[in-house]
Amino acid sequence: MSLSFENFIKQHKTAFESLFDPALTDANTVYMELSSATKGSESLSEAEQDAAIFRGIDDAGALAGVGGYLENRSVYRDTDLFHGDAERCIHIGIDVFMPAGTAIFAPLDGVVHSFANRQVRGDYGPVIILRHHLDDFTFHSLYGHLSEGSLAHLHDGKPVAAGNKIAEIGPRSVNGNWAPHLHFQLIRDMQDYHGDYPGVVRPAEVDFFRANCPDPTSLLLT
């Protein structure tokens, strides 16, 4: 197919429902730059780090903090998942910082491709991957750092309707030990992954992943 995944998403943006209610927009979100998130925060407890993130959102009068596509981050080096693999530092999804328990809605009709509870520090925690088919184009959407209850009653192939609640943002205690947020990512080719797909890659791999996982910001912000 000659049309790139990125251009396909742009051309079909109006077919997608909002992931949140109320919908997120440029006006009610604040950009959060995390490439240097660990600088100056080494002495803060996890609770203090979380409080600082959400204080920044409140101070901006925003509903959510958003950012992260192709951002180069050093924060992963201190996690169990990335230990010994410091080259993995390019974030290829979008992070949406909102309180734990915030509902997430399916942006498009689809089915559950796979799901898992990835309880390794630095990983997704509970994660759901949906498969969508639109105008003869098949692709996937990934939702990471969810609540454990989000995985209840799921099975591979379960139908999902656009606009229906599919999950909730999880607390730090279950979401891979991160401040509460959603990792949202688009994926064309799953490359035989099941219940997982890389959300952080090496700089040498960026060209492939930029094409396979284009920037989903245009779907997130209506």
pLDDT in tens, 159-197: 999 999 999 999 999 999 999 999 999 999 999 999 999
Contact 24, 220 (CB under 8 A): yes
pLDDT tens digits along 6-46: 999 989 999 999 999 999 999 999 998 877 554 455 567 88
Where do the structural domains in the chain lie, given as residue ranges?
Answer: 5-220
Taking CA 156 as the corner, what is the angle to CA 155 and CA 158, rounded to the nearest 5 degrees?
Answer: 70
pLDDT of residue 35: 73
Q: What average pLDDT is seen over the chain?
A: 90
Sign, Cα dihedral of 91, 140, 206, 215: negative
Percent helix / strand / coil, the chain, rounded to 5 = 20, 30, 50
The DSSP element (H or E) to which 7 belongs, if any, is helix 5-11
CATH of 5-220, one of 2.60.40.420, 2.70.70.10, 3.90.1150.10, 3.40.309.10: 2.70.70.10
How far apart are the C-alpha atoms of 117 and 87, rounded to whole Å?
Answer: 25
Q: Which two tokens stand for residue 155?
A: 């099975």
Looking at the chain, the whole-number percentage of residues with pLDDT higher than 90 is 76
Say if residue 83's pLDDT is above 90: no
Residue 176 Rama label (left phi>0; alpha psi -120 to 50; beta): left
pLDDT of residue 98: 98
Quick one: DSSP state of residue 191?
T
How far apart are the C-alpha atoms of 141 and 187, rounded to whole Å?
Answer: 6
Contact 116, 76 (CB under 8 A): no
